[in-house]
Amino acid sequence: MPKGKKGTKVEKVKIEYWKAADETGSPQEFAKQLVPKYHSHLATAKICYLFRTKARTRGPKVILGTASRMNSRLQALADYDFIIEIGYDEWKELNATQKQALLDHELCHCGGEENEHTGEMKWRILPHDLEEFRDIVKRYGFWRSDIKEFVDSVPAKPSAVKPVNVSSEKNQPPPPDGIENVEDILQTQ
Ligand SMILES: [Zn+2]
């Protein structure tokens, strides 16, 4: 068992992964309506929606979801372009609008450009529009133009808060056994 900083025992919880079943209230159901509306370049993208038992953390922050691009090695094993991974413990606590926003966010990470000669799509992971600390904005305000652009884009009344038409909310079944941990071989955002 690994030891914590002060020699205390830290229990390692085994993280399980499973593919989200395509059913009412699933990530797929949100995505099916979000892709044609806001992410039309993803119309042909093969996206795997993966749950993990517990959301990732980065320092004190809980990461609700991550988006990763499948590299060619992984594509030889599974026919997907992207993996959208969601912490199931957090997902089941979100309301429909929050679930939609999370999916919409992860789909924003999934970029793609069409090769004008072959028509083939080249996929990539896009970074956030803004990466900044609150303290820096407090001290320096709009010191870079992207901070102002970000703030200026906040509408007085958000236009897309109405949840997409998801029939009813239902929890996904508990995780099955035997799905491998893929976190170390994927680049995530
Ligand atoms: Zn993100």
**Cα of 30 to ligand 1 centre, how many Å?**
17
Residue 187 lies in a domain: no
**Cα of 105 to ligand 1 centre, how many Å?**
6
**Cα of 51 to ligand 1 centre, how many Å?**
16
Rounded CA-CA distance 83/69 in Å is 6
CATH number, position 118: 3.30.2010
Q: Which helix (H) or strand (E) holds 98?
A: helix 96-109
Assign 3-state DSSP to the chain and report helix, strand, coil percentages, each to 5: 30, 20, 50
**Cα of 9 to ligand 1 centre, how many Å?**
32
pTM: 0.79
Q: Which residues of 155-168 are buried (b: 16+ CB within 10 A; e: fewer)?
A: eeeeeeeebbebee
Residue 177 lies in a domain: no
**Cα of 133 to ligand 1 centre, how many Å?**
15
Residue 25 lies in a domain: yes
**Cα of 180 to ligand 1 centre, how many Å?**
23
Rounded CA-CA distance 153/146 in Å is 10
Q: Which of 99, 132, 135, 131 is nearest to 27 (CA)?
A: 99
For the chain (length 189 residues), average pLDDT per consecutive 10? 59 90 94 97 97 96 96 93 98 96 97 93 95 95 94 81 56 42 39
Which residues form the domain of 49?
14-126
**Cα of 176 to ligand 1 centre, how many Å?**
27
Number of domains observed in the structure of the chain: 1
